[in-house]
Amino acid sequence: MSTSAIVFMAGSWTFVLGLTFWSFYKLLQDKKHFDPDGIGPAVPPKPGETER
Amino acid sequence: MASSGSGNSHEAWGSRIGLILAMAGNAIGLGNFLRFPRQAAANGGGSFMITYFIALLLLGIPLMWIEWGIGRNGGRYRKGHTPGMFAAIWRHPAAKYVGAVGLVVPLVVMIYYTYIESWTAAFAWFSLTKDYWGHTTQEGMIGYLQSFQAISPEGAPVYHKPWTPYAFFIGTLFINIYVLSKGISGGIEKLAKIGMPILFLFAIVLAGVVLFLPAQPGIGATPWQGLEFIYKPDYSRLGEPGVWLASAGQIFFTLSVGMCTLTAYASYLSKKDDITLNGIATAATNETAEVVLGGTIAIPAAVTFFGVSGAMAIAQGGSFDLGFATMPVVFQQLPFGNLLGVAWFGLLFFAGITSSVAMLTPITAFFREEFGFKRETVAWSLGALCLVFGLMHVYWLEHGVLDEWDYWAGTFGLVVVAVIEVILFMWIFKPNKAWESMHQGADIRIPQIFKFIMTYVTPLYLLFILGWWGWVDAIPILLNEKSAGGGVLDPANTPYITFARAIIVLFAITAVVLIKMAWARNKYDDRKGFVEVDRSGEGA
């Protein structure tokens, strides 16, 4: 394989696999929703608030 | 407004992982393993990947979040169908009728998609029984495929009984309707929990086998040259609008946006449930299946056994030739080839069925919620409808009726639906309200840039695609100047194509009449909106 093809393949795979592992890592952490009453926040949460 | 419908449709997802698998199963379809590698190879390889990821970020992922948002918002009023979802967003008498497109498009696609899905079931059986063994050339396997489809040219050998395609179609449709009749948690979610792991297992095994294939005598090419064929960048192609449109089209097909199935599934969530993380997890799972696995099987195998020039010719022949002719030729030359054939066609079957069961969900929800019919009654009645019109495709395949439906519903229709959705949710519902709605119960915060993208970039991108496709394809096809399947239209097929179009129009008129009846029956007031239903105890 040429270097350019390897770069495109590696970049594509890294992006989709990275996104998949990151999203499932967050899902499997099974955090509580920050919105337990179901009413929803007045404004979108800031980064980090969902960690609590 | 007195109520939100008369249906006793208290359905919900059983678990979050079940929801993700069902959503991903809905998105992962035949296109991931057949269409994607062919599109990438034919549109500039690495350059296609650049435009593909741009389309994913500007169209696919924003539309994924928008559809989850529209669906869950509709679920607040127990509306699992687009007439209700659109009316919940836009308090205007026209909104419900605009939603008719969300009943017709998935119904039409379901009918012909199930027929194609039945080919995968048939070829899994033919692989297990080695029925096609001996057809060791591409031409030989194309002849075998045409014999199965009952479209063999005059005088060509016939290898199948006339009833064979009908039997597999009816069997496949029966499985689909049975799963649908069992409901969201008891049918669709269970299928996803079984089908998706099998799908990934088959795909990983096949990708592993293909990547370690030795170079064949007389050919000399390796699977890695196949990957080179897909990923080698041809930067000169980046300036071609066709490459950008091809990648945008692939993003549409692969994520099932515009099909109104994501919205239907999301309507079974409560407002306490996350949709932002679920949405990105669904898109990412689909992309892994497509880019990592889908790109590693068919084209690299074809290059190994037919060389780069041979694979290029095969890719130009179409996705079905690649999947149903080339791959069986490859399997016949490998140890345990029949089992690998079962894995390949089994993979395609599970990819297909986890998508097709979703396609009748919106119309099922409509009849249950608005007319109070039982789920089983609706499912089997729709099954009968799909059987009647599906048989038309089996019988008239050679006359282009399937290509006609695939173009108007499965290609152009998806973009039309997406344009409507994004305008309703981001412009009529308003960006701030849409943004707040998407973040109710959210486990992650969507980067703020996507608010701008969803409001301006995605709609403009969609309108450009719609305009371009309308000018280049839709108008010439409508005027019978070209065939929906590509090439010149055979005048002998014109009556069949006109009939196929008339059925779609008939479906649309029927949908509008049923919507009018439903609104009158439930005494909905278009200007006041629906009464919210408390479903905080439901959902994944």
Within 10 Å of residue B539's Cβ, how many Cβ atoms? 21
Residue B46 has pLDDT above 90, yes or no: no
- Our CA-based measurement puts residue A29 at a distance from the nearest CA of chain B, in whole angstroms, of 11
Q: How confident is the model at residue B245 (pLDDT cuts 50, 70, 90)?
A: confident
Between B147 and A45, whose confidence is greater? B147
Per-residue pLDDT, averaged over B251-273, amounts to 90
Q: What is the mean pLDDT of chain B?
A: 91
Going by the DSSP 8-state scheme, the letter that residue B238 receives in this structure is: G
- Report the residue of chain A nearest B274, measured CA to CA: A33
Q: How far is CA B344 from CA B2, B201, B510, in A?
A: 52, 11, 39
Find which of A11-25, B347-361, B505-519 is predicted with most confidence, using mean pLDDT.
B505-519
Give B500-511 pLDDT, tens digit per residue: 999 999 999 999
Q: Which of residues 20-49 of A touch B (CB under 8 A)?
A: 20, 22-24, 26-27, 31, 33-47, 49
Distance between CA atoms of B145 and B136, rounded to whole angstroms? 13
Per-residue pLDDT, averaged over B77-94, amounts to 96
A3 touches chain B (CB under 8 A): no
Chain A residues with CB-CB distance to B446 below 8 A: 44
Residue B468 has pLDDT above 50, yes or no: yes
Out of A11, A35, A50, the one facing B444 most closely (by C-beta) is A50
Q: How far apart are the first and last CA of chain A?
A: 47
Residue B2 has pLDDT above 50, yes or no: no
- Tokens matching residue B162: 């006339």
For residue B17, the model assigns a pLDDT of: 85
Q: How confident is the model at residue B486 (pLDDT cuts 50, 70, 90)?
A: confident
- Report the residue of chain A nearest B444, measured CA to CA: A50
For residue B8, the model assigns a pLDDT of: 46
> Where is average pLDDT lowest: B38-42, B111-115, B299-303?
B38-42
For residue B208, the model assigns a pLDDT of: 94
Between B507 and B245, whose confidence is greater? B507
For residue B83, the model assigns a pLDDT of: 97
Give B320-372 pLDDT, tens digit per residue: 888 999 999 999 999 999 999 999 999 999 999 999 999 999 999 999 999 99
B444 touches chain A (CB under 8 A): yes
Distance between CA atoms of B73 and B271, rounded to whole angstroms? 8
Segment holding B176, helix H or strand E: helix B164-181
Distance between CA atoms of B99 and B2, rounded to whole angstroms? 21
Between A49 and B434, whose confidence is greater? B434
Query: How many beta-carbon contacts under 8 Å exist across A and B?
Result: 119
How many C-alpha atoms does B408 have within 13 Å on its Cβ side?
A: 24
Mutate to test the interface with A, among B39, B445, B451 (most CBs of A within 10 A): B445
- Our CA-based measurement puts residue A5 at a distance from the nearest CA of chain B, in whole angstroms, of 4
For residue B19, the model assigns a pLDDT of: 87
Give B287-324 pLDDT, tens digit per residue: 999 999 999 998 899 999 998 888 888 877 778 888 99
Residue B489 region by backbone torsions, left for phi larger than 0, else alpha for psi between -120 and 50, else beta:
beta
A10 touches chain B (CB under 8 A): no
CB–CB of B101/B413 below 8 Å?
yes
Chain B residues with CB-CB distance to A4 below 8 A: 46, 232-233
Using the CB atoms, write b or e for B134-163: b if 16+ within 10 Å: ebeebebbbbbbbbbbbebeeeeeebbeee
A9 touches chain B (CB under 8 A): yes
Mutate to test the interface with B, among A15, A23, A33, A43 (most CBs of B within 10 A): A23
Closest C-alpha to B268, from B540, B28, B83: B540
For residue B3, the model assigns a pLDDT of: 44
Chain A residues with CB-CB distance to B292 below 8 A: 13, 16-17
pTM equals: 0.90
Distance between CA atoms of B431 and B458, rounded to whole angstroms? 13
Between A44 and B312, whose confidence is greater? B312
Within 10 Å of residue B471's Cβ, how many Cβ atoms? 10
Q: How confident is the model at residue B184 (pLDDT cuts 50, 70, 90)?
A: confident
Mutate to test the interface with A, among B13, B20, B444, B532 (most CBs of A within 10 A): B444
Per-residue pLDDT, averaged over B159-166, amounts to 94
Interhelix angle B16-27/B337-359, rounded to 10 degrees, is 100
**Given an 8 Å threshold on Cβ–Cβ distance, is A16 in contact with B291?**
yes
For residue B382, the model assigns a pLDDT of: 97
**Given an 8 Å threshold on Cβ–Cβ distance, is A33 in contact with B288?**
no
Residue B129 has pLDDT above 90, yes or no: yes
For residue B216, the model assigns a pLDDT of: 85
Per-residue pLDDT, averaged over B59-67, amounts to 96
